[in-house]
Chains A and B, each alone.
Chain A
Amino acid sequence: MAAEKILEFKQVALSFGETEVLKNIDLSLDSGQFYTLLGPSGSGKSTILKLISGQLQPSSGQVIFDGQVINDLPAERRRVNTVFQNYSLFPNMNVYDNVAFGPRLKKMSEATIEEKVKEMLGLVKLSGYENREINELSGGQQQRVAIARALANDPELLLLDEPLSALDYKLRKVLQTELRTIQRRLGITFVFVTHDQEEALAMSDWIFVMNDGVIQQQGSPEDIYDEPVNHFVADFIGESNIVPGIMKEDYLVHFVGKDFDNRDAGMRPNEAVEVVLRPEDLDLTTPEAGKLVVTIKNQSFRGDYYEIMAQDDDLNLWQVQATNPAEIGSRVGLTFDPEDIHIMRYNESEEDFDARLEAYEDDETPTDPSDSADKVPEVFDHE
């Protein structure tokens, strides 16, 4: 199935006076996918959303929707709808009138509108709430109405600006699953903005990691998590142990004073690199069997695992997630597999990174986001 390209950014930049908010963004969205813009606050992710919805116009570059440049098209004429972070429901209308707002502007017949509203409220599980006033609803219910209101307009693209950030943890989980279900059922393209990496990994087909107005990395949740391109991505997505190292030759890396076999290649001999080891990939063992010997400094119970901080003899701190508790102050061994070691070169661009991976991984993995625009990212099930 060849997916259609629905939205494209070509060299889009935006600055307010001296401040560059976005720097030459190129991105391309296929229809029917769940995209996430992930980044810390101030990274420019919400700005991208506003450029798509028409609240902002780019300083340079082109925003292309369905093959047409829409830089200056006013928001009300774009086939894009937004779910706002603070819900922004109209307080002077009840639930029904809020959802019917868009269809009424389109001068649909009242019978069609009623059908539409009923369908949308059913979709967000609020059937029977038609006559409720907005201030009688809980935060979660208000967000459901906001989603129904945006969807009632039959958008080709739905933008969600941190829609779940004001909700409690449990409710957030529930709505994450529901949003994913709604997206699959309707087949609309969703662009979801969040600073919550867990949320991004759980919901998305494709993630754009943003920082400082630049897309740092894009890819499927697995790619982003397993193969972070740089220090920022490795640190922002999940927990990481990052130590400096030297890539002696292909498949041999040197760090914390030892040589380790690994699965990375394509670098200059003896190139300085950063080594990433995820805490859940590290296992505790006896000092004799360990690849590293460390002292347990402290640990905290996190429900489904223990978070352990350990220190090696070079005073590097290692974060370990273990199912069993360890004894504080004891000397233990740390072990990991060659494939758990991820190598990052300093200042490597995403294109170079992908090209290098492609070169030595042969046809092992289909990871090549450079032609991702013409390819449907696989739908991964995280439930």
Chain B
Amino acid sequence: MKVIERFWLSFCFFLLYAPILFLVVYSFNQGETMQTFDGFSWQHYQELWADTRLLQIVLNTILLALLSSLIATVIGTIGALAIFRTQRKLLKQSLLSLNNVLLVSPDVIIGAAFLILMTALGLKMGFLTVLMAHVAFSIPIVVLMVLPKLQEMNQDLALAASDLGAKPTEVLTKVTLPVISSGIFAGFFMALTYSLDDFAVTFFVTGNGFSTLAVEVYSRARQGVSLEINALSTLMLFLAFVLVLAYYAYSQKKQGQKTKLKEKVK
């Protein structure tokens, strides 16, 4: 039984990682295609380094993701607070449903809708329109991550704070927001990943002179994927691994501190 379990698990992971591994291996290919492996070389990494347009787009994408998720986190958190404080049940349910509809509706529809709206408004397609669209589709994600934290929170905490002399704004900044901070961070990072890999919405609302990585890779892929993209993907994958490992190490350390303290208490 154990052997079969192990085998199955390994098989699944192999399936998941095989295409990525394939991509990584060919990023070191001496040749220009993914048909045959002609020998090891760094040449595609050098090409990538020289491709300032692509690097510019990477920076654009990151900047866009950071900015849009930051704005979405602020708006989404305020929205979650507002929904949470809504007294009337029907209104509250409706607001929540409207939020969830945005979350599940296909990107293509959201993208098309934004295109129509922005054309109607006479906006010039570019960074600003993409940013607005990204903020818009990130807000429901943030709301969805923050709202459960508010519901989990002991409602007497706010009462206790005002009882101790905190004005409503102080209750919010000193108690409510810190208590729900894990939800706010989760919302921010979810929004960040959504923004980083969004293709459909961006494709609709971007214009001349501004492009994100997903859109750029797509347009290049139509002429056959250059191995430069493999090199870039490998680097980003590496970065992702480092981040995951760093987070793991951080949480282990925190866990360790907690248990140590617990022992001390005993």
Q: Which A residues are within 8 Å of any B CB, using their own CB? A: 53-55, 74-77, 80-82, 84, 86, 88-92, 101-102, 105-106, 132-133, 136, 149-150, 153
Contacts and interface: CB of A to CB of B under 8 A. Distances in A.
Contacts of A153: 164-165
Interface string B154-190: 1011011111111100100011001101000000000
A175 B100 CA distance: 49
B265 interface: yes
A106 B178 CA distance: 20
Nearest to B170: A105
A76 B265 contact: no
A88 B163 CA distance: 11
Nearest to B163: A82
Given A53-B163, A82-B160, A102-B164, A92 B175 contact: yes
The 5 nearest A-B residue pairs measured at CB? A92-B178, A88-B156, A88-B160, A102-B164, A76-B162
B146 to A, nearest CB: 15
B167 A76 contact: yes
B164 A92 contact: no
B166 A105 contact: yes
A212 B193 CA distance: 57
14 contacts: A54-B163, A75-B162, A76-B162, A76-B164, A77-B165, A82-B159, A82-B160, A88-B154, A90-B161, A90-B175, A101-B174, A105-B165, A132-B265, A136-B262
B261 interface: yes
A89 B174 CA distance: 13
Main secondary structure of the interface of B (DSSP, over half): helix
A92 B181 contact: yes
Given A86-B154, A92-B181, A106-B165, 20 more contacts: A53-B163, A55-B159, A55-B163, A75-B163, A76-B162, A81-B164, A84-B159, A84-B160, A86-B156, A88-B156, A88-B159, A90-B175, A91-B157, A92-B178, A101-B161, A105-B165, A132-B265, A150-B163, A150-B164, A153-B165
Contacts of B179: 90-92
B265 A136 contact: yes
Interface in B123-168: 154, 156-157, 159-167
A309 to B, nearest CB: 42
Most A-side CB within 10 Å, residue of B163, B170, B175: B163
A133 B261 contact: yes
B7 to A, nearest CB: 42
Nearest to A79: B165
A5 to B, nearest CB: 23
A105 B157 contact: no
A84 B156 contact: yes
Contact of B162 (A74, A92, A149): A74
A76 B261 contact: no
Contacts of A84: 156, 159-160
A76 B165 contact: yes
Contacts of A102: 164-165
Contacts of A86: 154, 156
A11 B66 CA distance: 59
B91 to A, nearest CB: 20
A53 B163 CA distance: 7
A16 to B, nearest CB: 13
A152 B11 CA distance: 62
B185 to A, nearest CB: 13
B164 A101 contact: yes
A76 B166 contact: yes
A90 B163 CA distance: 13
Nearest to A78: B163
Contacts of A80: 163
A105 B174 CA distance: 10
Contacts of B175: 90, 92
A223 B265 CA distance: 46
Contacts of A90: 157, 160-161, 175, 178-179
B157 A81 contact: no
A84 B155 CA distance: 12
A89 B157 CA distance: 7
A81 B176 CA distance: 19
Interface in B226-266: 261-262, 265
A88 B179 CA distance: 12
A137 B181 CA distance: 22
Given A136-B262, A136-B265, A88 B157 contact: yes
A136 B261 contact: yes
A382 to B, nearest CB: 29
A261 B162 CA distance: 58
Contacts of A91: 157, 179
A332 B166 CA distance: 65
B13 to A, nearest CB: 36
A89 B156 CA distance: 9
A97 B88 CA distance: 36
A149 B165 CA distance: 12
Nearest to A101: B164
Contacts of B261: 132-133, 136
Nearest to A84: B156
Nearest to A136: B265
B49 to A, nearest CB: 45
Contacts of A55: 159, 163
